[in-house]
Structure 1
Amino acid sequence: MTYQNEKKILLIDDDIYLLNSIACYLRSEDFQVDIAENGYNGLQKIGFGQPDLIITDIMMPQLDGYDLIKEIRTNQISYKIPIILLTAKGMTSDRILGYNLGCNAYLTKPFYPQELIAIIKNIFNHIELSNKYKNNKSSLQLNTKTIKDSIFNTLTNREYKILTLVAKGYMNKEIANELKLSLRNVEKYVSRLLQKTHTRNRTELAKLALLTYFNIQKGE
């Protein structure tokens, strides 16, 4: 991946030496890094310009990492920002609390910098794949709707009514009774609908109608 230089990471820790060391290492990996020496300063920087990811210590004076996560996750603007907790608190209960509050990953001090990088890249890769899937799905839905609209715009009002009844599970005889048509005419209409919609049978025809919301009757 070559997205590092486009990603901004906010690093929050009251240990200045560790803060600068991690920041230096992240920059060497081509990430943009901003630093904050406490939770309040971190919140201010989030407000000025949202980072793509936040790495924060837990044990900080005044506003600790847990309270910081609460503030971030309850803010309408910042609630989606992924958060990694870096901490000397390695108890299971501490990790559970962090995950329950909404952190994306938990790394106990001391740690290998390579592991931190791997976690960061994994989070960004997951977000990228998720966005790609959503975009592809939206594009597919739009294209499908356009194709279906172009097909159904050619239907007559009578064909549309028959299609609606097919989608509701009506058989040809029931459709004939409902619309006061001969059974033979209904059969012709259904055959014509199969041709126009490029479906092979009544089941596919009904499914297509339901997918395009033809349970909402048109012109009735």
Structure 2
Amino acid sequence: MEKSAISATAMKEPSMSKDQTKRLLLIDDDPNLILLVKDYLEFRGYQVTTAENGREALDILEQDTPDMIVCDVMMPEMDGYTFVEQVRQKESTNWIPVLFLSAKGQSTDRVKGLNKGADVYMVKPFEPEELVAQVESSLKQTMRYEGYKSKGGDSSSRIQVPYDVTLTPTELKVVQLVSKGMANREIAEELSVSQRTVESHVSNMLGKTDLNNRTELARWAIENKMS
């Protein structure tokens, strides 16, 4: 692996106990990156299964379902785009959060990755601590959604909005990022707009939906699988 693929950083204590262990599927054709990222994630308390390409990963998913997938984009046999598309087509796997790792960092690359079905798009080189933070954020988001469902989130306790609510394409992008736990500043950077513009979109959506705050907006987006 090229030294620039992952930034060096000091290791910290594992962040979870054994009974909280989450299982990750790590997919990359670079054996050195696999080794480093796997070691780092396992040190932080995750159980990690690895695959060299999308086709091998699909075979693994037939036998086991991870809590999250961390996937390279450019790989032989089956690239990350094709892999994620297939993951999203199956009911048994379409809920799994996916984090793309890629050396391609143009905005068009990020947009394509997110449109293909990734929840997070990270560019190499990256800080291991940022990777862990993104993984933890995605897992927490999934847990919140499962919590809503267990409390009757699919019926009477669902967020109620007017039946004729329609969002503009930009508003949809904003609410998807809100549902991922991103702050307005982070959303502004992701969409290459001003923070004031993001705040305006959030305000417009609150008006359209009759919701009270960003938390309710995020819950509405999660319950309706906008993210």
- TM-score, length basis structure 2: 0.58
Gaps of 5+ in 1: 143-220
For residues 43-58 of structure 1, the aligned pairs below 5 Å read: 43-58=58-73
Give the structure 2 partner of residue 65 of structure 1: 80
For residues 8-19 of structure 1, the aligned pairs below 5 Å read: 8-19=23-34
Give the structure 1 partner of residue 117 of structure 2: 102
Deviations for 1:26-85, whole angstroms, at most 9, x for unmatched residues?
000010000011111111111110111000100111211101111111122211111000
The letter of the residue matching 1:51 is: P
**Are 1:33 and 2:43 matched, yes or no?**
no
- SS at 1:63's partner residue? coil
The letter of the residue matching 1:31 is: Y
Query: For the residues of structure 2 that align with 1:77 and 1:135, how far apart are their CA atoms?
Result: 18
Query: For the residues of structure 2 that align with 1:95 and 1:39, how far apart are their CA atoms?
Result: 19
Counterpart pick for 1:89 among 104, 113, 118: 104
In terms of fraction of residues, the more helix-rich structure is 1
Answer whether contact 2:97 2:142 (CA < 8 A) is retained.
no
Give the structure 1 partner of residue 130 of structure 2: 115
**Percent identity among equivalent residues?**
35
Deviations for 1:114-164, whole angstroms, at most 9, x for unmatched residues?
00000011111112222223333459959xxxxxxxxxxxxxxxxxxxxxx
Answer whether contact 2:27 2:50 (CA < 8 A) is retained.
yes
- TM-score, length basis structure 1: 0.60
The letter of the residue matching 2:26 is: L
Gaps of 5+ in 2: 1-14, 158-227
Higher RCO (Cα < 8 Å, 6 or more apart): 2
Task: Say if 1:140 and 1:59 are closer, same or farther in 2 by CA, change over 3 A.
Answer: closer
Query: For the residues of structure 2 that align with 1:53 and 1:28, how far apart are their CA atoms?
Result: 17
Give the structure 1 partner of residue 89 of structure 2: 74
Counting matched residue pairs gives 142
Query: For the residues of structure 1 that align with 2:152 and 2:137, how far apart are their CA atoms?
Result: 22
